[in-house]
Chain A
C-alpha cells in the first residue's frame, strides 16, 4: 500500500522474526503481505466481515508484559521486555496488528489445532473429490494435505445430506460438502444486498438454505460459488463440465459495461468453460456479475460471423479485404466506430479516418445499471474513444449522428465496426443508398445489408486494452485461438490502411503503442507491455466537462451534476 507512512509502521513478531507493518491491519493479511506466510483460513474473506467460525486460523498470540499497577514494562534477565503469551490460541482473522504483538504460526500447538480442526471438518465431509468440481482449487483439499492426519479415525456413518439442492437459477448446493463457513451468507448480505441465505438446524445437521419463498437469484449469485472454499456451492452451468486443472487461465476484461471488471478466462483446447473475477481493488474487488460470466457464449454463438462475404457470396478474408479496398478507393466514406473496440483498434480507425478525411460516427449503448459492477454505459471503452480522439462527444448523448450524416449525401461508403445501425434506429432507406463494409464478429441486420462482410475476432481471441469509467487503462490477453480465417480488427484495419496506401500501417501492439504514446498526452511513457495487470490510472481531467451517464458503482463515484448538453 502506497499510503503506508514509514513513521506510522509498528513492529510485530511472527515466528521469532520482526516485521514492520501498519497498525490496525488484519492479522491474516498482515502476515501474508509482510511475513509471506499463509495462515490457513476458510471463513475469513478479505472483502467480507469477519465471522470467526471455522477456527482454522488459530495462532498463538502474545503481547509485551507490563506491570498492571504501574504500567512499567516487565523485563527479563537480559533486559528485554517479557512477552505474555495467551494460554490458549486465538483466531488470527479477528485480530489486528498492534505494537509488539508476537504470534506463532507453526508451533506444535498451532499445528495440533489445525490438525484437530481438519479432523472435525472432515468427519462429515463426503469422499467425493473425484466427482467434485472444486477439486484442484479446494481449500479443504489443500489444507487436508498440509495439516490433515492422512487417515480417518471416524468409524461411524457419515451424515447424509441432500446433494443437489437448487439455491437459485444458477447455483446448485451440495450440502454434504458445506463446512458452514458462512461466506456466502455474508456476501449476500453485505455485497449483493440480497439477504436470502441462512443456516437452518443445529450441530452436524446444520445446512445452508434459502429463506422460505426466496431464492438466490440476484445477478451476483455466482460470486458465492467463487468464494465457497469447498465444493458446496457449484455453478450449475459449469457443473461437471471440466476439471479445473485442465483449464488454462488468461487475464481478460469484462466487456459488459464501462466498469471494466477484471476477469480470468478459463479455457481448454480453444473452448472457454468459465469466466471468474480477478481481484482488482481499484475496480471490482473480487466480484463480478453473473451476466458478465456468460459473455463467452459470444464465441460459439449462432450469430457468429465465420466467413467473409462479398455480395452474399462466401469469399476468403483476404479477398473480402481486397474488395473493400477497391470500394473505398476514390469514393468518400464514413466510419461507424464502436466503443466495444479496444484502444489499439481505435487508434487504427483514427489513423484511417485522418488520412482519408472520413468522419467517424458512434452509436450509444445504454443499459440499466445496478450501482455495483454494471454501469449504465453498456460498452467497455467509451473513455478510450475520447482519449484516442475518435470522438469529442459522448456517443450516448448524441442523437442519430449516422442518419444525419447520411442525409447530407456526401458519403458513398460506410465502414461499420460491429455495430447494428438498423437496431440503433438509422433509417433503412438511408443505409440502402450507400455501400456498407461490415467488420464484426456477430451477424445482424446491418451485416445482412452489407456489400462486404469481414469477420473479426471476439474479445477473447485478441489482445488489447480498454479504458474504464475511472480512466483506468486495463489490458486483456488473448485466451483462445480464433477460428480459421477470422482476423483481429486491428489486422483488418491495418490491411485496409495498407491497401489504401498508408505506409505506417501495423497491427503490432508495440508499434501502435509507440504512436499512441507520442500522440496522446495521457498515454505518454506508456507501452502495451508496460501496462500492469491491475491497470494504470490515467488523468481524465481533459474530459471533465462531459456529461457522463454512469451513476456510482463499487469504486466509482458519479460526477457532480452538469447542465444537460446535447
Chain B
C-alpha cells in the first residue's frame, strides 16, 4: 500500500509527542481502576473454583465414601486417601465405607474442580475461598477434620443412603 508522504510537522515528530503527552495528562485524572484488595474484595461469581473441601449431609453424615475417584482424577495428585470401613455399630453402618484419612495438599491443588465433577456422592465441593496460606508446607496439607470444618453441611437432594436404610427397615418383607 502506498503511504501518504509525511508532512514536515509529522517528520519532526513533535506534534505527535505533544498529543501523546496530552493523552497521558488526561489519563492522570481519570478514575483509578485499582481495587484495594484486602479492604475491597472482588465479587466471587457463582461456580467459582476455590479451595476444595468435604461436606456433610444435613444429618451430619460424612458424604465421602472413599471411592478414590477424586484421587484418581486429580491432575497434580494433591489428594491422597486411605479408605476405611464404617464400624457395624455406627448409625451409618449401611454406607459401609468412609475415608480413614483424606488429605488434600493445598500447595499442589490447582483448583481445576475435577474432583467435584467426578464425585459420585457429591461429597467434595470447591468453596469460594481463594486465599489459602500457612507458615509451613505441613500446615497446608489439610486433613479430613479440617476439610470437614471448611466444607460444613450442605443441602442434599437425594438422601440416597438414608432412603436405602429406610427401605431396609420397612420396605422388604424378606428380612
Chain A residues with a Cβ under 8 A of chain B: 126-131, 135, 157-164, 201, 205, 239-243, 245-246
Contact = CB atoms under 8 A, between A and B. Distances in A.
Contact of A163 (B71, B94, B121, B174): B94
Given A246-B68, A246-B72, A131 B96 contact: yes
B112 interface: no
Given A164-B96, A239-B85, A243-B83, 17 more contacts: A130-B67, A130-B97, A130-B121, A131-B67, A131-B95, A135-B67, A160-B164, A160-B167, A160-B168, A163-B96, A240-B66, A240-B83, A240-B85, A240-B96, A242-B68, A243-B67, A246-B68
B120 A130 contact: yes
A502 B34 CA distance: 77
Nearest to A136: B72
A242 B167 CA distance: 29
A161 B71 CA distance: 30
B171 A157 contact: yes
Interface residues of B, number: 25
Given A240-B84, A242-B83, A130 B175 contact: no
Contacts, number: 58
A289 B31 CA distance: 79
**7 smallest beta-carbon distances between A and B, as pairs:** A130-B67, A131-B97, A157-B171, A160-B168, A160-B172, A243-B68, A130-B120
Contacts of A240: 66, 83-85, 96-97
A130 B167 contact: no
B41 interface: no
B111 to A, nearest CB: 23
Contacts of B68: 242-243, 246
Contact of B175 (A129, A160, A239, A246): A160
19 contacts: A128-B96, A129-B120, A130-B120, A131-B65, A131-B95, A157-B167, A160-B164, A160-B167, A160-B171, A160-B172, A163-B94, A164-B88, A240-B66, A240-B96, A241-B83, A243-B72, A243-B83, A246-B68, A246-B72
Nearest to A241: B83
A162 B175 contact: yes
A407 B147 CA distance: 68
A31 B87 CA distance: 47
Nearest to A239: B85
Nearest to B175: A160
Nearest to A158: B167
A128 B65 CA distance: 10
A135 B65 CA distance: 13
A161 B174 contact: yes
A159 B175 CA distance: 10
B69 to A, nearest CB: 7
Contacts of A161: 174-175
Interface in B93-139: 94-97, 120-121
B160 interface: yes
Given A164-B88, A243-B72, A130 B65 contact: yes
Contacts of B65: 130-131
A129 B67 CA distance: 8
Contacts of B120: 129-130
B72 to A, nearest CB: 6
Contacts of A241: 83
A164 B88 CA distance: 10
B149 to A, nearest CB: 23
Most chain A Cβ neighbours within 10 Å, of B83, B88, B95, B121: B83
Contacts of B67: 129-131, 135, 243
A159 B172 contact: yes
Contacts of A164: 88, 96
A245 B72 contact: yes
Contacts of A131: 65-67, 95-97
Interface in B37-88: 65-69, 71-72, 83-85, 88
A127 B65 CA distance: 13
A272 to B, nearest CB: 16
A126 B65 CA distance: 15
Contacts of B174: 159-161, 201, 205
A130 B65 CA distance: 7
Contacts of B88: 164
Most chain B Cβ neighbours within 10 Å, of A131, A158, A205, A242: A131
Contacts of B83: 240-243
Contacts of B121: 130
Contacts of A205: 174
Nearest to B121: A130
A129 B69 CA distance: 11
B166 to A, nearest CB: 9
Contacts of B69: 130
A279 B55 CA distance: 44
A315 to B, nearest CB: 33
A538 B79 CA distance: 49
B172 A157 contact: yes
A163 B88 CA distance: 11
Contacts of A158: 167
A300 to B, nearest CB: 16
A135 B97 CA distance: 14
Contacts of A127: 160
Nearest to A245: B72
Contacts of B94: 163
Contacts of A242: 68, 83
Contacts of B167: 157-158, 160
A160 B168 CA distance: 6
Interface in B142-175: 160, 164, 167-168, 171-172, 174-175
Contacts of A157: 167, 171-172
Contacts of A201: 174
Contact of A126 (B85, B97, B164): B164
A201 B172 CA distance: 14
B159 to A, nearest CB: 13
